[in-house]
A and B are shown apart, each in its own frame.
Chain A
Amino acid sequence: MSTRLANGGRLLNTDRPLNFTFNGKQMRGYAGDTLASALLANGQMMVGRSFKYHRPRGLVASGAEEPNGLVNLGSEGKFEPNARVTTTELFEGLKAESQNHWPSLEFDVGAINAKLSRFLPAGFYYKMFMYPQAAWKHVYEPIIRKSAGLGKAPQARDDDTYEHFYAFCDVLVIGGGVAGLTAARTAARAGAQVMLVEQTEHWGGRAPVDGGSIDGKPVDNFVEEILSELKSLDNVQLRTRTMGAGVYDHGYVTCYERLRDHAPDTPGPRHRLWRVRAAHVVTATGALERPLSFAGNDIPGVMLASAMRDYVVNYGVSTGDRTVVVTNNDNAYLTAISLKHAGLDVPAILDTRALPQDSELVAQARALGIRILMGHAISSVKGTKRVTGVAICSQAGEGAVLEEIPCDAVAMSGGWSPVVHLWSHCGGKLVWNAEKACFSPDVDNPPKGADGMGFVTTAGSASGVFALDDVLCDAHAAGDGVATTLDFKLPKGDSAPKATRREEAPLMPVWMMPQGASVKLREKAWLDYQNDVKVSDVRLAAQEGFVSVEHTKRYTTLGMATDQGKLSNINGLATLAGALDTDIPSVGTTTFRPPYHPIAMAAIGGEARGDVFQPIRRTPLHNWHEANGAEFEPVGQWRRPYAFKRAGESTHDAVMREVKNTREKLGLLDASTLGKLLVKGPDAGRFLDMLYTNMMSTLKPGKCRYGLMCSENGFLIDDGVVARIDEDTWLCHTTTGGADSIHAHMEEWLQTEWWDWKVHVANLTEQYAQVAVVGPNARTALENLGGMDVSREALGFMEWTDGTLGGFPVRVYRISFSGELSYEIAVEASHGQAFWDALMAVGADLGVMPYGTECLHILRAEKGFIMIGDETDGTVIPQDLGLHWALSKKKDDYLGKRAQARSHMADPNRWKLVGLETVDGSTLPDGAYAVGAGTNENGQRNMIGRVTSTYHSPTLDRGIAMGLVLHGPDRMGEVIDFPGTDGKTYQARIVDPVFYDKEGEKQNV
């Protein structure tokens, strides 16, 4: 049993007991506990089941590298799956549930997979689920989805809020252990702006646990002193519970601050994602201990030696009463010594090495009376849900059992790997250090910034130096070096803190225990605990021809679990190297990708949820629309009224009413969203002639002209009315969605190609509220407002003028997108609502009604006017739409002209715009395709056209549509078939696209 010890626990506040539940069971811990230490203190060694075989899983580690301890945390709006127990601080009322088992953690049906493990080898998925093809969708995928475990997907909406923060500093130090603290202090003393982040809530890292002294003081005192100095400095920012998550180009680093995971009921954001720009980054990220690969190394009770030490020293928790230590290095002896000091039994230390003489720690352990077996190893661990003993053997042999030692815990250490993730995220290279059997940062190949210089420096264990005095020297040098690079200068005489030196005997690389382990043992030696990848799987992959470590990773799923192989990668690639009979550096590592540890998606989203998920653009009349029954539709980021519904009216009825009323009386449309780009300058005419397909330079001041704009590939991208304001000024109206993109399009050409043309463009879209006053009564309404002459003679069709209406300064454009008598009136946005109100008032006797975008669409479709985004889709050219009249033949060039001359664009078989009338008067389905005779090479029916716009026209009381049809204009009167998705086939006759008022008399009165 694991339990709480009477003494110890340097991080605990035993005056503050906390209650929590695990799988519904009431448990108790203390402030300062992690969920992991509290579970252990309550005797809960088993914390979950593995992903594939559903093997019982216990805690292996004490930090972010923990592969097994994942739980569902909280409930409802505070629910969080896959929370790692080692990084979860305990709080009052915490609720945790273990994952990946059914019906219970203790008895799990899925464990049958373990019995079938012979049939679930590496690459099982690829081998099994290939055939028959249809089975994937209907059989395999549903089953795999159901059995795929880990956390449950949250059902409720997240109650919490999140935010980003943009910070800038000279030096960002990641990791608040003694190395990070030292590097930060050195850089700060030199005068740099320093930000220091630490992922846990404690400063000092693991040095206080591992002992020793710095500057003649215990490590804890050193940490306290350096902290108080850093806190007193104005140029230092300290953040705990903040993890350096990812390092990106140009010194951009994301840090993940967990503000309220430990106090979920306090007000404020839960997480804050720091988006830091640092001139230089120091990664003082420490090192992770490696497991050893022996049979049964996954049985609950087998733990990393350093983790077991952490639990004893930091939390006063014992993992077991009798612990066998197995190691290939000196460091694990610290665990044996700590356990002994805590009054626990260590029946043996199995050391794979044969040391010529005892090193300092070995001697200490021996002095404590611990039995030390050199050259020994574990043959297998006994037990299923809990360690009951170990069978020991010689490391050199094949696993013949020499002796069985009863025990309830095993502490293992296979050496240490520097945490090089952040160094490597942005391209920092690694070198293999054979002596320490680890990959260390290659200082000659750091991640490089825009100036070609390295912008990341490692400090301490992350550099591959593990002895305390080496760590401090390295960290001081890193701080000094970085400060010097940034032109800061350390005061004279400032030197690294001095630590006592502990001489350690060299480690012996061990990748398989025992080295000649049989297949049977290898099948029980786990590399990746979470994803159930064993030594035998990697060897099988090698045997099947996988030589690349990246391929082997994906084939076996090694390192692909939520811990991203923090414990398994090095052991895995060493195993692969062994199987391929090559050396470790030539196998190399897989790619280190951010984030270092999973971060909440919500933190990445930041503030962008709820009301501010996305900007919604509102016109000056938005509130009026809302108060008057508007049903909105998104147009770009704008919300435009689709229709104004009256009480008891369906949306369709409202649209029909609005069309009829506008044709017969008077309609008002909020046209404020249309783009209004002012183009001014001596070269403005020439510029617009290049942008539009037709001539704009010849337009007279006071006149308007409809124009088309194409991309350089010839495709129609925008249309609208251009008004010439004066000699060198034009106002270009764009589509609602096109205002920003066309503005950008203009700027791009002006800035990159025609940079010497004298043209200014200003986007005035939002300066004006624009109202379309449409219908036979439009002129009367404006005359009733009074202030200017809007007669046919004074203001002809396609003209504009400035004036005053009802006391409002306005610009009136006599243009029509509906076929009716129509004025578009621009008024300053701050007066938009008042002007609209005035129009509604004078229109009251004239039958005025507001209308929405659907009515607008029907009005224009009845007239055969195209709509960008309906008749165009990025593949349509003006010629397809019968708009040859708008393509100037006088101009040498315009954007798209050359592209339109290419053979495919000039192909007579391109589908062309026509009108479509259903034979029975019904409405064609939107987007329907017309089918022709025969089939294509794929055996599909030949397509000869498609519907681009389709509506029920209340004016004509029948369905009308526009579409692109093969040889359409030459086939007037022909009836073609449009099969619908409802099983019916719609028959439509090809007709002229202008359905209403073909002569255009109504708009020209």
Chain B
Amino acid sequence: MSDPVSALKNASDSTGIVQISEVGPAGMITLRGDLADKALIKAAVAAGGVNLPEQRRINTEGDRGMAWMSPDELLILCPYAEAKDRTADLAAAVAGQFALAVNVSDARVVFELKGPHARDVMAKLAPVDLHPSAFTPGMFRRTRLAQVAAALWMPQEDCFRIVCFRSVAQYVFDLLNVSAMPGSEVNYYG
């Protein structure tokens, strides 16, 4: 079998006010079910390798993590190569329950935005309060970037990770580039 190829083959650009790069392929598993159910939490924690995140938050550790997507949905992050096995384990662990575990690694792409103007660039595209007093590492938002759906979080200060659908990878990459054009600093966050 071939090596997996992410949508833009890890394209990157640093000609603007932030560094933009596609980071992938990345493992992603959608888990839907009752997030109050102990067995489900246990299985999710085992698959994600981190604690269950609270509402609108994400817990990460390196490539691993778990994000709160909705009242009945989690997104589990893991290395791409592990996604299939982990999905199978998870599915087995929640078998018989009203729950769904499915591998969505190939349906999505991940971008990373780095630099002191990262918040500025994100706030041009996403209707989210990104003020440092309102949005900090550990928080997670499902939102939109201009005309497409996306989710975003900050692994650390001055850095964003963005998940969007694979088919619009080029559009999102272009959007980020346009929004990071030289001379477009907003300096809204001090």
Contact = CB atoms under 8 A, between A and B. Distances in A.
Interface of A: 161, 163-168, 193, 234, 237, 266-269, 272, 275, 277, 606-608, 611-612, 614-620, 638, 678, 680-682, 758, 760, 762, 764-768, 807-809, 828-831, 833-835
A733 B3 CA distance: 27
A857 to B, nearest CB: 22
A633 to B, nearest CB: 16
B167 A166 contact: no
A267 B123 contact: no
A933 B183 CA distance: 69
B32 interface: yes
Interface string B168-190: 11110011001101111010101
B106 interface: yes
A239 to B, nearest CB: 9
B106 A618 contact: no
A607 B5 contact: no
Interface string B132-167: 011000000000001110000000000000000111
Contacts of B103: 767
Given A268-B183, A767-B106, A681 B100 contact: yes
Contacts of A835: 2
B111 to A, nearest CB: 14
Contacts, number: 139
Contact of B174 (A611, A638, A830): A611
B133 to A, nearest CB: 8
A611 B105 CA distance: 26
A269 B180 CA distance: 10
Given A606-B146, A616-B170, A682-B98, 4 more contacts: A267-B183, A678-B102, A766-B166, A807-B1
B137 to A, nearest CB: 19
Given A612-B178, A828-B106, A166 B126 contact: yes
B67 interface: no
A830 B5 contact: yes
A368 to B, nearest CB: 48
B131 A168 contact: yes
B23 interface: no
23 contacts: A234-B190, A266-B183, A267-B181, A269-B183, A275-B127, A277-B129, A607-B146, A608-B146, A612-B171, A615-B168, A616-B170, A618-B167, A618-B169, A620-B7, A680-B100, A681-B98, A765-B107, A766-B108, A766-B166, A767-B104, A829-B166, A831-B1, A834-B5
B2 A831 contact: yes
Contacts of A758: 98
A607 B175 contact: yes
A767 B181 contact: no
A614 to B, nearest CB: 7
B167 A638 contact: yes
Contact of B124 (A607, A615, A760, A764): A607
B69 to A, nearest CB: 11
Interface residues of B, number: 54
A746 to B, nearest CB: 13
Interface of B: 1-2, 4-7, 25, 30, 32-33, 80, 98-100, 102-108, 120, 123-131, 133-134, 146-148, 165-171, 174-175, 178-179, 181-184, 186, 188, 190
Given A267-B182, A612-B178, A163 B100 contact: no
Contacts of B175: 607, 612
Given A165-B123, A607-B146, A612-B146, A269 B181 contact: yes
Nearest to B2: A834
A764 B4 contact: no
A762 B101 CA distance: 10
Contacts of B184: 163, 268-269
A614 B178 CA distance: 13
A165 B123 CA distance: 6
Nearest to A269: B184
A570 B97 CA distance: 69
In the complex, which of the residues B131, B133, B148, B186 has the most CB atoms of chain A within 10 Å of its own CB atom? B186
A767 B98 contact: no
A619 B106 CA distance: 12
Contact of A617 (B25, B108, B168, B182): B168
Contacts of B167: 617-619, 638, 766
B174 A166 contact: no
B117 to A, nearest CB: 12
Contacts of A620: 5, 7, 166
Closest 8 CB pairs of A and B: A268-B183, A834-B2, A830-B4, A617-B167, A168-B129, A267-B183, A829-B106, A766-B107
A615 B183 contact: no
Contacts of B128: 166
